[in-house]
């Protein structure tokens, strides 16, 4: 039975993944549901950070294997995350997945290790962007490649913490609170990170336009 | 009292929330604070359009699902989720390559052989090019095929169990009528053959009496 924060329940009860997590803890074979639910998000995070499909696959595999093995230790991390938050509104609490936060903390560490281990990044932002643009859209594909490439390059040039915040916000559609928990920062700090990141991207895109590269929205 | 930077950051956050909400209700208009820098709005919309979520290939998805399932089975048995075999330890063996130079042992058993597409077919993307491409497995790091270490241990244990069974079977001759008749026809008793056969088995097992 789920209860609201106003009723004084332990906030961990409000986790939207609690049922799936409990099932997986009772029987690890039920971890599959969590895996399917978060595969694309974890993979996307890894892909945007590492910009290589094979590296992203390896990182994704490590993340889920570590999560499966570490699931018995998950509960106290939930409490730690929840304890750091202000009292939750009902609407806010229904959207919280502390499992997702925990999973992305693992992903952040795995990706950071991967980046440290392998400084070689042979795939450029533009190359990766070309992979993402749909070749079926013949008319728009060139413009789409260019726009996506410009955005990727602008994001790739951001300092690490701003870049991660942008990816978690735009690609994984996380709230400020979730990003703060994953990055180990305050919510205020994450807001400022995102604001400054967008300002940098705006300047980058504007300088690109001045040098002749078009923007999709221009 | 909020500083200017904090106020701007909050405006930006509200705009980003509005962007997501507008997408969810398929609305083109996104409410924005009049004081929000238009350049920030433009950059946010640009990133919203460009940074799409990427889905891995279904082949990878199913392959990892199988590995996780195996890991779950190991966990239920009280073992580690994944067999840790450090590189260079006894038991790690290099990959095999077929005639086309494709790494064979890197492919999980569940994956069919056509996982050897050119690198141009690297992944499936979703959206907009969902499920369009086949994955490239040719450049992947190989997973070691274990033929020593744990594998040898398991194999030798199986051989030992088999040998013990043979020894036990020989020391416990069948008590059926046919068995007794056969032993009588060969003029052998259970005990006379037992010592000789046990010696052979003990020799196989390396037992020193």
Higher pLDDT, A68 or A90: A68
Query: B130 in contact with A at a CB cutoff of 8 Å?
Result: no
Question: Predicted confidence band at B94 (pLDDT cuts at 50, 70, 90)?
Answer: very low
pTM value?
0.61
Mutation target for A interface from B6, B46, B73, B130: give the one with most A CBs within 10 A.
Answer: B46
Residue A206 is predicted with a pLDDT of: 85
Decide if B23 touches A, using CB distance below 8 A.
no
Contact across the interface for B71 and A44, Cβ inside 8 Å: no
State the pLDDT at residue A74. Answer: 82
Q: Are A128 and B52 in contact (CB under 8 A)?
A: no
- CA-based angle A149:A151:A156, to the nearest 5? 90
CA–CA dist B129, B54 (Å, integer): 10
For an interface test with A, give the residue of B11, B33, B47 to mutate (most A CBs within 10 A).
Answer: B47
Contact A202 B6 (CB under 8 A): no
Distance from CA of B157 to the nearest CA of A (A): 28
The predicted pLDDT at position A85 comes to 53
Find, in chain B, the residue whose alpha carbon is nearest to that of A27. B76
pLDDT of residue A159: 93
Q: Give the residue, A60 or B121, on which the prediction is more confident.
A: A60
Average pLDDT value for residue range A206-210: 76
Average pLDDT over all residues of chain A? 78
Q: Which residues of A touch B128 (CB under 8 A)?
A: 134, 136-137
Q: Where in chain A are the domains?
A: 18-217
Distance from CA of B178 to the nearest CA of A (A): 50
Q: Do B76 and A172 touch (CB under 8 A)?
A: no
| Distance from the B103 Cα atom to the nearest Cα atom in chain A, whole angstroms | 15
Residue A130's pLDDT band (cuts 50, 70, 90): low
In this prediction, what percent of chain B has a pLDDT beyond 90? 11
Predicted pLDDT at B30: 73
Task: Count Cβ atoms within 10 A of the Cβ of residue B172 and give its class: 0-12 exposed, 13-18 middle, 19 or more buried.
Answer: exposed
Contact criterion met (CB below 8 Å) for A147 and B28: no
Q: Give me the pLDDT at residue B171, please.
A: 53
Which chain A residues are within 8 Å of B10, Cβ to Cβ? 191
Give the residue-averaged pLDDT of A99-103: 91
Averaged pLDDT score across all residues of chain B? 59
> Which residues in chain B are contacts of A170 at CB distance < 8 A?
47-48, 51
Residue matched to tokens 């590492």 = A50
Between A209 and A177, where is the model more confident?
Answer: A177
Task: Tell me the per-residue pLDDT of A134-190, one tens digit each, with 9 for 90 and over.
Answer: 445 555 667 777 778 888 889 999 999 999 999 999 999 898 989 998 999 999 999
**In whole angstroms, what is the distance from residue A182 CA to residue A103 CA?**
9
Check residues A79 and A184 and name the one with the higher pLDDT: A184
User: Is the minimum CB–CB distance between B48 and chain A shorter than 8 Å?
Assistant: yes
pLDDT at A89 over 50: no
At residue B34, the pLDDT reads 75
CB contacts of A64 in chain B (<8 Å) are 64, 68
pLDDT for residue B103: 33
**B73 interface with A at CB cutoff 8 Å:** yes
Quick one: pLDDT at residue B62?
Answer: 96
DSSP helix/strand/coil, B150:
helix
* Stretch B143-148: mean pLDDT: 27
* pLDDT at residue B90, rounded to an integer: 37
**Backbone dihedral region for residue A158 (phi beyond 0: left; psi -120 to 50: alpha; all else: beta):** beta
In this predicted structure, the answer to whether residue A4 has a pLDDT above a threshold of 90 is: no
Residues across chain B: 209
The model's confidence at residue B31, banded by pLDDT at 50, 70 and 90, is confident
Is B83 or A91 the better-scoring residue by pLDDT?
A: B83
Q: Do A44 and B53 touch (CB under 8 A)?
A: yes
User: Of B48, B56, B60, which to mutate for an interface test with A (greatest number of A Cβ within 10 Å)?
Assistant: B56
**Cβ-based contacts of B73 with chain A (< 8 Å):** 28-29
Query: What's the CA gap between A140 and B185, in Å, rounded?
Result: 92
Check if B197 contacts A (Cβ < 8 Å).
no
Residues A111-129, mean pLDDT to the nearest whole number: 66
Number of neighbouring beta carbons within 10 Å of residue B62: 13
């Amino acid at each position: 039975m789920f209860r609201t924060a106003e009723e004084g329940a332990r906030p961990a009860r409000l986790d939207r993944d609690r049922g799936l997590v409990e099932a997986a803890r009772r029987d690890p074979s039920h971890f599959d549901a969590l895996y399917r639910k978060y595969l694309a998000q974890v993979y996307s995070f890894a892909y945007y950070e590492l910009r290589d499909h094979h590296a992203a696959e390896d990182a994704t595999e490590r993340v889920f294997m570590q999560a499966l093995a570490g699931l018995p230790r998950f509960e106290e991390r939930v409490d730690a995350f929840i304890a750091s938050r202000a009292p939750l509104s009902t609407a806010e609490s229904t959207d919280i997945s502390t499992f997702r936060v925990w999973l992305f903390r693992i992903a952040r560490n795995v990706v950071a290790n991967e980046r440290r281990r392998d400084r070689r990044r042979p795939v450029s932002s533009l190359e990766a962007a070309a992979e993402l643009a749909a070749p079926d859209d013949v008319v728009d594909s060139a413009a789409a490649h260019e726009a996506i490439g410009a955005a990727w390059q602008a994001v790739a040039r951001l300092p690490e913490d701003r870049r991660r915040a942008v990816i978690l916000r735009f690609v994984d559609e996380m709230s400020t609170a979730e990003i703060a928990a994953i990055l180990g920062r305050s919510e205020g700090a994450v807001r400022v990170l995102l604001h400054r990141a967008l300002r940098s991207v705006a300047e980058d895109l504007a300088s690109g336009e001045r040098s002749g590269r078009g923007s999709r929205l221009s | 009292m909020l500083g200017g930077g904090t106020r701007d950051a909050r405006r930006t956050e509200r705009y980003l929330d509005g962007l997501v909400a507008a997408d969810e209700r398929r609305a083109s208009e996104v409410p924005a604070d009049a004081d929000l820098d238009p350049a920030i709005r433009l950059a946010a919309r640009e990133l919203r359009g460009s940074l799409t979520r990427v889905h891995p290939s279904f082949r990878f998805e199913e392959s990892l699902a199988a590995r996780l399932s195996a890991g779950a089975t190991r966990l239920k048995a009280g073992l580690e989720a994944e067999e840790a075999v450090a590189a260079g330890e006894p038991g790690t063996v290099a990959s095999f390559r077929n005639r086309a130079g494709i790494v064979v042992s890197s492919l999980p058993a569940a994956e069919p052989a056509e996982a050897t597409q050119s690198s141009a077919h690297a992944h499936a993307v979703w959206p907009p090019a969902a499920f369009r491409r086949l994955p490239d497995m040719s450049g992947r790091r190989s997973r070691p095929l274990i033929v020593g270490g744990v594998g040898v241990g398991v194999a030798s244990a199986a051989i030992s169990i088999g040998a013990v069974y043979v020894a036990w079977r020989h020391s416990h001759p069948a008590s059926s009528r046919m068995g007794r008749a056969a032993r009588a026809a060969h003029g052998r008793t259970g005990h006379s053959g037992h010592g000789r056969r046990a010696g052979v088995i003990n020799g196989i097992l390396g037992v020193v009496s």
